[in-house]
Chain A
Amino acid sequence: MNFRRREVRAIESIPRLSLVAFIDIVLFLLLYLMLAGTLAPPESRLAVGLERPSPATGKAPPLSPIKLRVDRSGERLSYHIGQREVEGREAVVVALTQVPKDGGVIVTGGEGTIVADIAASMQAAKDAGFTRVSYAPGK
């Protein structure tokens, strides 16, 4: 009797799962998800407060905030710091660097301005060293 041969045949008949296709799919998924994840760009943020009327108290008012207004005329942007007109964003940063920063800065947007203009003004204030930047919604 030949028992050995029958035993070998029994082992060979066990179905074995091929890992090749499985690994292919997993690696494809991995590559896809890695690329898809990289496509989501990192973002940054500008911290903003909303201008609120100061409550009427008996105390002396704190240092008044600087008012920065941006206006758009077609493709041209113009900035006003208080009553003074400033030409160009770099000039705004320079001008804001020279003023006291304790009162913060309030940004407003004129007629026809877009979010990019407001963001540029806020960024200019941050670049000049202001930590308190507020936004006053237009009427």
Chain B
Amino acid sequence: MKFNRHQPMPEAGFDITSMIDVVLLLTIFFMMSSQFSKVVQRSLDLPKEVGDAADKPIDAEVAVVVDLEKDGRLSVGGRVYELDRLAAVVAADHQKVAATGQVLDVVIRADRATATTHLSRLVSALSAEGVTEWRLATSGERASSGGER
């Protein structure tokens, strides 16, 4: 009899199909969520306060996040606006959201070293457009005793 001695033995291995599925799913998830956080958040040194106990997360559908930098520069979604233009944009969003029976959630992310005059100018301009409720973003951590320096 003639045996085929050179026939290779089948390799013992494991099925990596499901692993690739899971890894790709996780990759897509992190890519998407990183993109969102980039849009909403700009690198700012926020006031070191715990914030409201009853704080609710930002619903991107009915929220506008205004970034206020140390020098008073204003931006929404990374785009810089003049104060008047920004107030008009927020007012337009305010009306659009009000038409659906909801209230526009205005979140101000201000650098903690920003002069109060810049914040006052912003909220006064928003108030003139009918936006009188807003939320001030904080870092979520407790400041040192006696307030911030």
Residues of A at under 8 Å CB distance from B?
A: 19, 23, 26-27, 29-30, 33-34, 36-37, 40-50, 52, 75, 77, 88-90, 109, 112-120, 122-123, 126, 135, 137-138
Contact = CB atoms under 8 A, between A and B. Distances in A.
A41 B44 CA distance: 11
Given A30-B27, A40-B41, A123-B50, A117 B133 contact: no
Contacts, number: 160
B116 A33 contact: no
Interface string B111-141: 1111111011101101100001111111110
Contact of B23 (A30, A40, A42, A77): A30
Interface residues of B, number: 55
A27 B26 CA distance: 10
Contacts of A52: 127, 132
Contact of B136 (A33, A36, A48): A48
B113 A47 contact: no
A116 B34 contact: no
A17 B51 CA distance: 53
